[in-house]
Chain A
Amino acid sequence: MVDRYVSDPIDLPERDAGAGYFRADLVFYDVDHSGPSYEALVFLNAPDADAATPRDDEHYAGSFKIFGHGSCFGDVGHCDVPTGPRDPFDLRPPHHLVPASKTVVVTEAFKRLVAPGDETMTVTVVAVTPGDGPNDVLKFDRVRLLTYS
């Protein structure tokens, strides 16, 4: 099953045309991993990309994979992630379902698809769950582009 996300246009900072980037990352923050396992395919400037878009498409930038918790195996509330400030004397490990950050290295696609002077870009994420899994697996708070030169 497939879940899709297409970002709003991401404003790109003005760049010197001569500046070279040695690495570009897309960081997905607060990714939910409480459900089934899946792969999230990432495309740049391809709002129509879907599960049929091949990995050798020029807009394909990489993927991240989620090894999912599956479902809740405890009693009521077992999988509720605590919210609010944490007591500084609480030395227990973080809750097992604290959302994850996933970094996809997109350097080559970024160099190929985003020219100096481009003002925006979009990110499309196609989450594919093998088999007959649910199709609403993709949940994250925000995606950020990081470039290094």
Chain B
Amino acid sequence: MSTVPPSPPAIPARLRHRRSADALTAGQLAEVRSAIVAAQAIDDDRGYQSWAGVHGLPLPVYCTHNSPLFLPWHRAYLYFFELALQDRVAGVTVPWWDWTAGGSEGLPAAYADEQDADGQPNPLLQSPIQPSGRPPGGPSETNRNPGQPGAPPLPTRAQVDAVLELTDFMDFQSQLEDLHNGVHVWVGGTMGGIASSAYDPIFWAHHVMVDRIWRLWQLRHPGSGPPAALLDRALAPFAMTVRDTLDVEALGYDYAVTTAAVRGTG
């Protein structure tokens, strides 16, 4: 008679916090970079290339833009991507890029530096693009052209505050998506089009910022959210509905500008 192996012991529920990319400790940044490097090394559906490809190319294009599912779909996307990174480096979270921080270069140093602290190429600066993830004739690596002439400026804190004041979810979502669009245009290069944008590592920090603003909006407007008709809509290809995305704590994460911890008595 076969026996069923015992279930692994349950892990005590402990929220993980996504932090500002500008406020990571050296150790936290090293963990993010290690997770990306490890995920890039996997050539199957657990790997970085596979997850980046869910958004645009290779077909089908799953991402939802100009859609009532914009925020829920991207929250689900980040959730599964972050879990894939946590399979590589336990507890790691994707940081957020505060576009309103007003740095002279715009991009966080963690994502713009050529090298990491050990003098190795910064895995958050650039990424390969798998052949099936490239538009015809497109480059094999991501590139950026931040703030090129004709690009809109990065959103300001006042613009984000104005969006947070909106009380109707659909109105809020529409205006936040427009700020999001402008950041894609500002970064330019690979980020400037739907097809390959998710291959650029800054994509994830950009969308964590969008997700964070939604979380802040939820805290300011308790009880408000997507209309009931949307709640049971599926978020393909993820096994999630809109309703499943509404509570970030149920998804195991929340946001903090910085975190620091020290071992206790145990």
**Chain A interface residues toward B at CB < 8 A:** 1, 33, 36-39, 51, 63-71, 73-74, 78, 93-94, 96, 98, 100-103, 105, 128-131
- Which chain B residues lie closer than 8 Å to A68 at the CB level? 193-194
Complex Cα gap A137–B65 (Å): 18
Decide if the interface of chain B is mainly helix, strand, loop or mixed. Answer: loop
Out of A1, A33, A103, which one reaches B65, CB within 8 Å?
Answer: A33
- Which chain A residues lie closer than 8 Å to B180 at the CB level? 67
Identity of the chain A residue whose Cβ is nearest the Cβ of B151 in the assembled complex: A130
- Which chain B residues lie closer than 8 Å to A63 at the CB level? 152, 182
| Contact B59 A93, beta carbon cutoff 8 Å | no
**Chain B interface residues toward A at CB < 8 A:** 57, 59, 61, 65-67, 135-136, 145, 148-152, 162, 171, 174-175, 178-182, 184-185, 188, 192-195, 236
| Contact B193 A70, beta carbon cutoff 8 Å | yes
| Minimum Cβ distance to chain A for residue B142 (Å) | 15
| Contact A73 B135, beta carbon cutoff 8 Å | yes
Given contacts A65-B182, A67-B65, A74-B59, is CB(A36)–CB(B148) below 8 Å? Answer: no
| Contact B174 A130, beta carbon cutoff 8 Å | no
| Contact A130 B148, beta carbon cutoff 8 Å | yes
| Contact A69 B135, beta carbon cutoff 8 Å | no
| Contact B194 A70, beta carbon cutoff 8 Å | yes
Closest A-B pairs by Cβ, 4 of them? A100-B66, A65-B181, A130-B150, A70-B193
Out of B152, B178, B195, which one reaches A102, CB within 8 Å?
Answer: B178
